[in-house]
């Protein structure tokens, strides 16, 4: 198939899923056209069967807010027409689904057989999409999609609850490359960070408020105060970075905290880690936690959204009440005080991650595409 994929290029979940899915589909022989305003970090320049199409915006002085959604729609029009796309798969509803709807309207009968498939990821529903300034447009655009998927059962139910949806939403979970994300401890890296016997606690995110990075520092400081020798690694960057740095100074734990910034080979860091912390206020799936689990790292998370679907309490780590940093610290201390428990959880985390194997989930998308393409072609009586 000729597949158009649209996603964000940023250091966040939906962009990673769109990119890794593109690579998986390309490996299965599909031709993928990836559209975004910049090349995603995980998309190499030379990928067989993938072309990257940069959507550039004309920054005319009149535009305080250049209309990216319109530039994207124009790009979609060109690709549907000249690359003969069989389908358009957009990741994150805002504004991608709306641009896709507009592109199809522009092309009329020429694109009637090309389905729009929207994958809902998270904040496009739970935070941004539910904001009154976007809600009617998001609701309309989702209903105009020919196929809709959500990355967890939680997100599907939440979408039905917050919007008036007249479409079936299929749950296709996020996935992980088990070969890339496997435990492979590079001793020289570990030695550069910790001394013998010290533990490593890791957090990876885009440091938005919703990630509650300050809770990570609070948990870590309690673990240190319990007499456990450990280092905390913060991977990623974003708006809360300076707030959490200030908090670490206040808590007096700065010398044990390393801010590593955005990292390409995050699997090297996860491989060294003994526990992964995800205290988020909202998390529809928790892809970063899945990647950690795949590297055999138990997760201590909050109990929001799709996290309890992924992280099994008492098995692959612990699930604690949102904001309960004391409970989170107690669970980390419990794990670090019991080698058998920690080893069991490390193994269980990897076993759980194996249920989200990349190829298996890419095949689910492929089957879904075939179903939606066939259904639309029949509906519009398309003759190739
Ligand atoms: O919040 C992020 O880290 C990015 C965000 C997004 O929408 O791009 O991630 C969401 O999608 C990811 C991939 O499907 C999920 O794993 C994250 O749980 C979800 N984030 C939130 O719900 C806050």
> In whole angstroms, what is the distance from residue 121 CA to residue 17 CA?
9
* Phi, psi (degrees; rounded to nearest 5) at 43: -105, 110
Spacing, Cα 24 to ligand 1 middle (Å) = 20
Cα–ligand 1 centroid distance for 17 (angstroms): 10
CA 95 to ligand 1 center in whole angstroms: 16
For residue 98 and ligand 1, the question of a CB distance below 6 A is answered with: no
Q: pLDDT tens digits, residue range 2-25?
A: 999 999 998 678 999 999 999 999
**Is residue 17 in contact with ligand 1, taking CB distance under 6 Å?**
yes
Q: Return the sign of the alpha-carbon dihedral for residues 246, 248, 249, 250.
A: positive
Atom 13, ligand 1: residue with shortest CA distance:
13
> What pLDDT sits at residue 118?
98
Q: Encode the chain in three state secondary structure.
A: CEEEEECCCCCCHHHHHHHHHHHHHHHCCCEEEEEECCCCCCCCCCCCCEEEEECCCCCCCCCCCCCHHHHHHHHHHHHHHHCCCCEEEEECCCCHHHHHHHHHHHHHHHHCCCCEEEEECCHHHHCCCCCCCCHHHHHHHHHHCCEEEECCHHHHHHHHHHCCCCCCEEECCCCECCCCCCCCCCHHHHHHHCCCCCEEEEEECCCCHHHCHHHHHHHHHHHHHCCCCEEEEEECCCCCHHHHHHHHHHHCCHHHEEEEECCCCHHHHHHHCCEEEECCCCCCCCHHHHHHHHCCCCEEEECCCCHHHHCCECCCEEEECCCCHHHHHHHHHHHHCCHHHHHHHHHHHHHHHHHHEHHHHHHHHHHHHHHHHHHHHHHCCCCC
| Closest C-alpha among 71, 94, 68, 72 to residue 4 | 72
Q: Which CATH number fits domain 2-175+358-381: 2.60.120.10, 3.40.50.2000, 3.40.50.300, 3.30.70.600?
A: 3.40.50.2000
Q: How far is the CA of 84 from the centre of ligand 1 (A)?
A: 31
* 6, 8, 10, 13, best to mutate for ligand 1 pocket (most atoms within 8 Å of CB): 13
Q: What is the CATH number of domain 187-356?
A: 3.40.50.2000
Does residue 14's CB lie within 6 angstroms of at least one atom of ligand 1? yes
pLDDT at 337: 97
Would you state the pLDDT for residue 278? 98
How high is the pLDDT of residue 308?
97
pLDDT score at 384: 82
Question: Residue 190 — pLDDT band, cuts 50, 70, 90?
Answer: confident
User: For atom 23 of ligand 1, which residue has the closest CA?
Assistant: 283
Cα torsion for 340, 344, 346, 352, to the nearest 10°?
A: -170
pLDDT above 90 for 347: yes
pTM above 0.85, yes or no: yes
Give the pLDDT of residue 203: 98
Query: How far away, in angstroms, is 284 Cα from ligand 1 center?
Result: 6
Q: How confident is the model at residue 41 (pLDDT cuts 50, 70, 90)?
A: confident
Which ligand 1 atom is the nearest neighbour of the CA of 16? 13
pLDDT band at 195 (very low <50, low <70, confident <90, very high): confident
Over pLDDT 70: what percentage of the chain?
100
pLDDT score, position 45: 79
- Give the pLDDT of residue 145: 98
Supply the residue whose CA is at minimum distance from atom 9 of ligand 1.
Answer: 13
Domain ranges, ordered by start, for the chain: 2-175+358-381, 187-356
Q: Is the pLDDT of residue 119 over 90?
A: yes
Listed range (44-53, 61-70, 186-195) with the worst mean pLDDT: 186-195
Is there a shared CATH topology between the 2-175+358-381 domain and the 187-356 domain? yes
CA-nearest residue for atom 5, ligand 1, is 13
């Amino acid at each position: 198939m000729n597949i158009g994929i649209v996603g964000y290029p940023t250091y966040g979940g939906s962009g990673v899923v769109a990119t890794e899915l593109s690579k998986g589909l390309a490996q299965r022989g599909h031709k993928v056209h990836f559209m975004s305003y910049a090349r995603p970090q995980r998309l190499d320049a030379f990928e067989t069967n993938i072309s990257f199409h940069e959507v550039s915006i004309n920054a005319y002085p009149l535009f305080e807010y250049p209309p990216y959604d319109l530039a994207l729609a124009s790009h979609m029009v060109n690709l549907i027409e000249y690359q003969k796309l069989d389908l358009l798969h957009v990741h994150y509803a805002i504004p991608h689904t709306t641009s896709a709807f507009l592109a199809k309207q522009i092309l009329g009968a020429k694109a009637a057989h090309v389905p729009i498939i929207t994958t809902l990821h998270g904040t496009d529903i739970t935070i941004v999409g539910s904001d009154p300034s976007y809600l009617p447009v998001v609701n309309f655009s989702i209903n105009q999609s020919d196929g809709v998927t959500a990355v967890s059962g939680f997100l599907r139910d939440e979408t039905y609850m917050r919007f008036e949806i007249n479409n079936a939403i299929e749950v296709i979970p996020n996935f992980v490359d088990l070969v890339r994300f496997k435990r492979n401890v590079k001793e020289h890296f570990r030695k550069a960070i910790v001394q013998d016997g010290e533990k490593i606690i890791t957090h990876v995110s885009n440091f938005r408020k919703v990630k509650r990075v300050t809770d990570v520092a609070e948990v870590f400081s309690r673990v240190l105060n319990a007499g456990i020798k450990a280092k905390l690694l913060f991977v990623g960057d974003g708006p809360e970075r300076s707030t959490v740095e200030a908090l670490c100074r206040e808590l007096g734990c700065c010398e044990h905290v390393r801010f590593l910034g955005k990292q390409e080979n995050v699997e090297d860091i996860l491989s060294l880690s003994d526990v992964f912390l995800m205290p988020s206020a909202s998390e529809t799936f928790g892809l970063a936690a899945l990647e950690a689990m795949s590297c055999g790292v138990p997760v201590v998370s909050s109990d929001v959204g799709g996290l309890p679907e992924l992280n099994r309490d008492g098995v692959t780590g612990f699930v604690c009440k949102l904001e309960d940093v004391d409970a989170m610290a107690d669970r980390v201390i419990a794990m670090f005080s019991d080698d058998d428990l920690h080893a069991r959880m490390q193994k269980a985390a990897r076993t759980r991650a194996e249920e989200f194997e990349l190829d298996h989930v890419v095949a689910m998308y492929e089957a879904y595409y075939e179903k939606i393409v066939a259904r639309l072609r029949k509906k519009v009586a398309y003759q190739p």
